[in-house]
Amino acid sequence: MNSLESNGRSSPDTWLDLAYETLISKGIDAVRIMPLAKRLNLSRTSFYWYFKDREALLDALIGRWKAKNTHNLIQQTQAYSESITEAVLNLFDCWLDQTLFDSGFEFAMRNWALQSEEVDVAVKKADEDRISAIQQMFTAHGYPTSDADVRARTLYLTQIGYVCMRSNEPIDVRMARIADYAHVFTGVTPTDSELKRFFHRHAFT
């Protein structure tokens, strides 16, 4: 038994964290037990204490992505808001806070979906659930169903376009566009106080 194992530092998250990092940096084909074990300086046997096989590890990766990106996005659509612009700014938090929505993870999952029918189904289901949640956010603020649907799709697909294009705008450029984006998606201009609270949340002045 090596030092990492004997010190009790091996855990399911030890393997899952490295699998996540490998997926993002090298793609799904690089997420394999032996290379992970070597990088962790752990025995292959250690892996099987926590996961039945590689498929179980990959399932755990999918589960982490669902919990991180889809669950958090849906929660943001349900956050307290007094106006549709405040609701949209709550959702915009996802695009600026990696603890809420991990764009690198999202990009890697969509690449993986090109190789796996199972993952493709999961990604399409996530898209449906996210768009539905955003639509409900609009309808909760009085938008007709058809209008809410189109606005939800426009907002969501714009951001997924950012992810897939790996757009990396300077933060000052993106922040300068926030008010206009909110107006385009809602038809309403956010108030100065709403924008001030949003910028404050992201430590932007």
- The tens-digit pLDDT sequence of the chain (205 residues) is 444 443 446 899 999 999 999 999 999 999 999 999 999 999 999 999 999 999 999 999 999 999 999 999 999 999 999 999 999 999 999 999 999 999 999 999 999 999 999 999 999 999 999 999 999 999 999 999 999 999 999 999 999 999 999 988 899 999 999 999 999 999 999 999 999 999 999 999 8
What DSSP letter does each residue of the chain carry, written as one string? --HHHHTT---HHHHHHHHHHHHHHH-GGG--HHHHHHHHT--HHHHTTT-SSHHHHHHHHHHHHIIIIIIHHHHHHTS--SSHHHHHHHHHHHHH-TTT--HHHHHHHHHHHTT-HHHHHHHHHHHHHHHHHHHHHHHHTT--HHHHHHHHHHHHHHHHHHHHHT----HHHHHHHHHHHHHHHHSSPPPHHHHHHHHHHTT--
